[in-house]
């Protein structure tokens, strides 16, 4: 216990120290929200990766989908690495950096306003982001409950308050730069931790071969009659597995806390290094988490009474004390890095895109930064309260909370953002249809599952599947509606897209004559 407490104290001390170290970068809006667009390649890559993966992944998704799909759940981590990281950087990274600098936009709603010349898009999207980030933020706290109870026998409410306060301190003081530096430190902990944990858990169960052999002998007629299905290549349910891959991988393309990392890129080197590093990070962390979760059926978890969120803690309960301390810090790192990114995104969106735009248009830089810090406190407190209420009432598993949030935001914003980077013909009407579609289908799904007022089609009853459908649907609707609605102002669009055609000079080692 002493060792675990010392490890926690050192960890928290470093996080807060970094916050005060970075405070000089957080004196104006650009510095507080984007670190002055001067964040280097490694910090950017780790900021992207650690914002992507949290306790929701490690405790919630890895446990639930590992139980459902067995070792095939590793495909989710591979999808996160290839589609959610590699292709996201290749397709979005450079263009996002160029066009947001051209438009001088610091948030996704601000990008929508200036790209489409529509103030209504800015206000609507800012409220979508603010409202639907709250359940995702609340789910971060829930991932810690069983783990802290097992390691320290600490009440869940104390865990929530401690994590909220400590994260709030370094984000409020140091802004984006403090978040980026701490993300780098937390990312290193996550890399070391997941490798050590996988080795220890498998070693306890006879090594990789022995664990796979035990998993192949598990039989669950309620899922499949196929022998050894949980140790098979694609598992017992390919369709739902693909839906999870789409939600957790394609979703990053439309989430403001992920896209905002591209806004802050320093230079070309940061793009290249960031692409490689973030992809490797996702492969190890996400692939490792889901691979570990695939062995969840080797525990004696009673899912009917304990829930899916108990699976990973049961896998870890016999680890040595020092390694258990590392696991606690790993999950804390994953949660705090994502939490800091979410609250920074929410506070900046509400301040810049709603309060300044609609209530106080002449607000000074200093007052904007102060307002963002106040909104940070409000958002952290609100999400913490919801987390405690959710935990007490057992409203939903972690995966369902995240599915609702990711599905609504990415379903609404992914298509308008992606087409806004590439296609000049995209119209405001099409983007508003995407907003209505993404939020509408996820809201109806939530009402259906919560109060059973009506029934969704069987394939879309899960928030995860519905979230995947929301994203795919938006990508289909936007081009269709754009082609049948009035063309945007061509002069305005051409001026924006001119940033892609600007000539730059590079050394010949970078490009031949």
Per-residue pLDDT reduced to its tens digit, 169-189: 888 888 888 888 888 898 898
Which residue do the tokens 């070309």 mark? 268
Task: Place 424 in a pLDDT band, splitting at 50, 70 and 90.
Answer: very high
Task: Give the C-alpha distances (Å, rounded to integers) separating 63 from 71, 228, 308.
Answer: 11, 19, 6
- Say how many C-beta atoms besides its own lie within 10 A of residue 38's C-beta: 16
- Cα three-residue angle 359-363-367, rounded to 5 degrees: 115
The per-residue pLDDT for range 120-141, each reduced to its tens digit, is 999 999 999 988 888 777 777 7
Packing angle, helices 156-204 and 2-21, rounded to 10: 110
pLDDT digits (tens, 9 = 90+) for 377-405: 888 888 788 777 777 765 545 556 667 88
For the ranges 21-25, 44-48, 198-202, the maximum mean pLDDT occurs at 198-202
Lowest average pLDDT, out of 77-91, 136-150, 167-181, goes to: 136-150
Would you state the pLDDT for residue 146?
61
Indicate the pLDDT class of residue 328, thresholds 50, 70 and 90: confident
Mean pLDDT over each residue of the chain, to the nearest integer = 87
Q: For residue range 426-473, list pLDDT tens digits in order.
A: 999 999 999 999 999 999 998 888 788 888 888 888 888 999 999 999
Tokens of 310: 């108990």
> Domain 2-390: which topology?
Sodium/glucose cotransporter (1.20.1730)
CB atoms within 10 A of CB 120: 14
Cα–Cα distance measured from residue 444 to residue 90, given in angstroms and rounded to the nearest whole number: 34
Closest to 121 measured CA to CA, from 304, 353, 336: 353
Say what the pTM is.
0.89
Query: Which pLDDT score, from 0 to 100, does residue 145 have?
Result: 61
pLDDT at site 245: 95
How far is it, in rounded angstroms, from Cα 349 to Cα 153? 37
490-494: average pLDDT: 94
Exposure class string for 413-433: b at 16+ Cβ within 10 A, else e: bbbbbbbbbeeeebbbbbbbb
Q: What is the pLDDT of residues 359-381, one digit of tens each?
A: 888 888 889 989 999 988 888 88
Residue 511, pLDDT score: 66
Which one, of 163, 198, 181, lies nearest residue 326 by Cα? 198
Q: What is the DSSP letter of 508?
A: T
pLDDT value for 513: 62
Q: Which among 508, 81, 458, 495 is positioned nearest to 286, based on CA atoms?
A: 81
Terminal Cα distance for the chain, rounded: 64
What is residue 358's DSSP assignment? Answer: I
- pLDDT tens readout for residues 194-252: 999 999 999 988 999 999 999 999 988 888 888 899 999 889 999 999 999 999 999 99
> pLDDT at residue 143 above 70?
no
Produce one character per residue of 162-178: b if its CB has 16 or more CB atoms within 10 Å, e if not. bbbebbbbbbbbbbbbb
Q: Report whether 342 contacts 119 (CB < 8 A).
A: no
Average pLDDT over residues 129-154: 73
Nearest 10 degrees: Cα torsion 123, 124, 130, 131: 140
Residues 6 or more apart whose CB falls under 8 angstroms from that of 476 comprise: none
Burial of 28 (0-12, 13-18, 19+ CB in 10 A): middle
- Coil, helix or strand at residue 189: helix
Six token digits for residue 290:
């889901």
């Amino acid at each position: 216990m002493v060792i675990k407490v010392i490890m926690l104290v050192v960890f928290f001390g470093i996080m807060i120290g970094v916050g005060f170290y970075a405070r000089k970068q957080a004196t104006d809006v650009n510095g507080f929200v984007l670190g002055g667009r001067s964040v280097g390649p490694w910090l950017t890559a780790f900021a992207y990766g650690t914002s992507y993966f949290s306790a929701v992944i490690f405790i919630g998704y890895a446990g639930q989908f590992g139980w459902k799909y067995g070792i095939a759940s590793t495909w989710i981590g591979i999808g996160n690495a290839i589609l959610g990281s590699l292709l996201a950087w290749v397709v979005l990274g450079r263009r996002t950096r160029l066009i947001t600098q051209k438009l001088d936009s610091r948030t996704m709603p601000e990008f929508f306003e200036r790209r489409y010349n529509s103030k209504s898009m800015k206000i609507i999207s800012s409220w979508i982001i603010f409202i639907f980030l709250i359940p995702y933020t609340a789910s971060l706290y829930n991932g810690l409950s069983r783990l802290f109870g097992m390691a320290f026998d600490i009440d869940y409410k104390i865990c929530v308050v401690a994590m909220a306060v400590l994260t709030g301190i370094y984000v409020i003081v140091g802004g984006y730069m403090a978040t980026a530096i701490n993300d780098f430190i937390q990312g290193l902990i996550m890399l070391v931790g997941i490798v050590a944990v996988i080795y220890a858990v498998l070693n306890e169960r006879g090594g990789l071969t022995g664990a796979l052999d035990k998993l192949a002998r598990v039989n669950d007629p309620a899922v499949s009659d196929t022998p050894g299905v949980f140790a098979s290549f694609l598992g017992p349910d390919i369709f739902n597995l693909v839906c999870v891959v789409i939600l957790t991988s394609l979703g990053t393309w439309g989430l403001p806390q992920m896209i905002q990392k591209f806004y802050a890129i320093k230079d070309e080197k940061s793009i290249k290094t960031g692409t490689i590093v973030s992809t490797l990070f996702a492969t190890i962390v996400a692939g490792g988490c889901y691979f570990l979760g695939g062995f969840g059926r080797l525990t004696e978890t009673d899912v009917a009474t304990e829930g899916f969120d108990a699976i990973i803690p049961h896998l870890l309960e016999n680890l040595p004390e020092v390694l258990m301390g590392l696991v606690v810090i790993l999950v804390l790192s994953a949660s705090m890095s994502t939490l800091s990114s979410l609250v920074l995104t929410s506070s900046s969106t509400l301040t810049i895109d709603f309060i300044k735009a609609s209530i106080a248009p002449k607000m000074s830089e200093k007052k904007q930064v102060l307002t963002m810090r106040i909104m940070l406190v409000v958002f952290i407190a609100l999400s913490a309260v919801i987390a405690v209420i959710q935990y007490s009432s057992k409203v939903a598993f972690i995966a369902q909370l995240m599915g609702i949030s990711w599905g609504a935001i990415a379903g609404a914003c992914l298509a308008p953002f992606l087409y806004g980077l590439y296609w000049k013909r995209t119209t405001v009407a099409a983007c508003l249809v995407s907003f209505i579609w993404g939020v509408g289908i996820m809201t109806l799904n939530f009402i259906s599952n919560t109060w059973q007022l009506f029934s969704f089609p069987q394939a879309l009853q899960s928030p995860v599947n519905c979230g995947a459908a929301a994203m795919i649907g938006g990508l289909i609707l936007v081009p269709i509606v754009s082609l049948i609605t009035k063309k945007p102002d061509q002069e305005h669009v051409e001026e924006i897209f001119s940033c892609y055609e600007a000539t730059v000079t590079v050394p010949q080692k970078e490009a031949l004559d």
